[in-house]
Structure formats: C-alpha cells, structure tokens
Amino acid sequence: METNIEQRKGWDIKSGNTVKVWQKIKEGDKFRLQAFEGLIIAHKHGHEPGATFTVRKISDGIGVERIFPIFSPNIEKVEVVKKSKARKAKLYYVRTKAAKEIRRKMKTLKAEGRAKATDVVKSAAKIETVEASAEEPKK
C-alpha cells in the first residue's frame, strides 16, 4: 500500500466542502472500501506528513466526527460531493449549531407529545363514562 504524495497534495480539501472519503477496511484476509460522507470542519498542518482533516456527519441524529490523515495508505480516494465557500478555516461552530437545532426539534416534539397525551387522557375519560352509563345498575 503506497500513497501518491503529489496526487494527494492536489486534493481539494477545504473547510466547508462536503466529501466522501473511501477508506480501506481489512476483514480477515480481504480488503473492502467503506465510504464516510460528511462536511469538512477542519484541515490542519497543510501538506506536511502529519496533515489531517476532520469530517463530520449526522448518523441517526448523532454527530459523528472522524479525523483522517491525508497521506494514510488506508484512504483510497476522496470525492468532493459539494463545494461551498467558508469564511472560516475551522468550522467548529457547526457542533453547537447542530446541538441547538436538535434541542429546538426536541422542544417541538415534546410540545406535540403533551398535546397527544392530553388527548389520550380525555378520550380515556370519555370511554370510562360511556362504559359506566352502559352498565346496568347492580341490584
């Protein structure tokens, strides 16, 4: 597994771009490719040997971040899915922005849940009153 350093220096890895990183995964004696698609929130150390980039995605409502070394032999390729202009080099504020958005969604869900719960209680009370009036008085 050898990396082409000059090719990797030409990759368009910038903060704000959405990329799909194809990583080699070893299972037994075979290798397979697995994609990790997300937003680049940081690119550190330029193009020196220890250069890395951080990719963030939302998986089942949970934020997942992975740090990839640019010159790792385990990375097969990086596809740029979407380019966007970022005004900052590090987009760490996306973490708090996503958390606030999730909190706002949870708040609306809770409000809807309370309304549904009260409707359930009211309908249960109506059913009990109907059943009580339908029963014959005991002698």
Could you read off the pLDDT of 89-125 as tens digits, one per residue? 999 988 888 788 878 888 887 777 654 545 544 544 4
Average the pLDDT over 36-44 and give the result.
93
How high is the pLDDT of residue 9?
82
Q: Which residues pair with 35 in a beta bridge?
A: 22
Average pLDDT on 27-38 reads 93
What ranges do the domains of the chain cover?
1-90, 92-133
More confident residue, 21 or 139: 21
pLDDT of residue 1: 55
The per-residue pLDDT for 135 is: 47
Q: Which CATH architecture has domain 1-90?
A: Roll (2.30)
> What is the average pLDDT across 18-44?
93
Query: What is the distance between the alpha carbons of residues 17 and 30, in angstroms, rounded to a whole number?
Result: 31
DSSP 14: -
What is the reported pLDDT for 119?
A: 53
- The structure's pTM equals 0.69
